[in-house]
Amino acid sequence: MPKYFKSFLLFALTLIFLSGCSESGTPKLGEQYKQLSTPLTQTDIKPVTEVFSLTCGHCRNMEASLPELEQLTHQKFGKVHVTFNEQAQVAALIYYAAVMQLNQIPDESMMKDLFAAVQLGDGATITQQQQTIEQVFTSRHMISPYSFDGLQQKALYRYLDNAMDISKQGGFNAVPTFIVNGKYEVLIGGHKDIQGIANTINFLLKQP
């Protein structure tokens, strides 16, 4: 076998070996995840909790992958809507108006409609957007948040206050992300695909 071919083969095998290690390696602190400075213990925090916003395009895309992630991790995810700016707080009120009436996370169909309504587009007027949001609720025989009475508004703001506490305590500055066991935040940018995110979640579920 020619000497140059042996060198090439050795180089190729090294690349394959390194590639295999990077794909199956243990998630690293600071690259695939970070530890929260203060653990989250609120009732909304499940073993795996997605932190998201209806205003976020990446969150909208991630929504379609949640069933696969839940299957890969054998978990039913919780959800927390961030409140790190005024726009996110308004969207959080819309989301929690649904949670409050359903007493659970909206199903995949309603989440899809909520994302579409909140992200209606720059060409839509405020009135058009409000009508679209109302339609998401009334089409499901639910009360639109725009029609809440005083008692309902107070109850809704309790949901918002809880979400604000979680957002502030967690110090979230980018979404979507996932919180595992209330202690660890998954760094989405450190992953290539859904399988990689699932691997990190599964790893963190086993950590103390």
| CATH code of the domain containing 159 | 3.40.30.10
Q: How far is CA 131 from CA 136, 137, 198, in A?
A: 9, 10, 37
The parts of the chain modelled with pLDDT lower than 50 are 5, 8-23
Token readout for 120 is 């209606």
The domain total for the chain is 1
pLDDT for the residue numbered 163: 97
pLDDT for the residue numbered 2: 54
pLDDT for the residue numbered 19: 42
Q: How far is CA 188 from the centre of its chain?
A: 10
Distance CA 107, CA 46 (A): 17
Give residue 54's domain range: 3-205
Distance CA 139, CA 119 (A): 19
Helices (H), the chain: 3-24, 57-63, 66-73, 86-102, 108-118, 126-138, 150-170, 194-205
**If DSSP codes are grouped into helix, strand and coil, which group holds residue 31?**
coil
Distance CA 41, CA 34 (A): 17
Contact between residue 32 and residue 23 where contact means Cβ atoms under 8 Å apart: no
Q: How far is CA 62 from CA 58, 69, 100, 112, 142, in A?
A: 6, 10, 23, 11, 26
pLDDT for the residue numbered 15: 41
Contact between residue 128 and residue 117 where contact means Cβ atoms under 8 Å apart: no
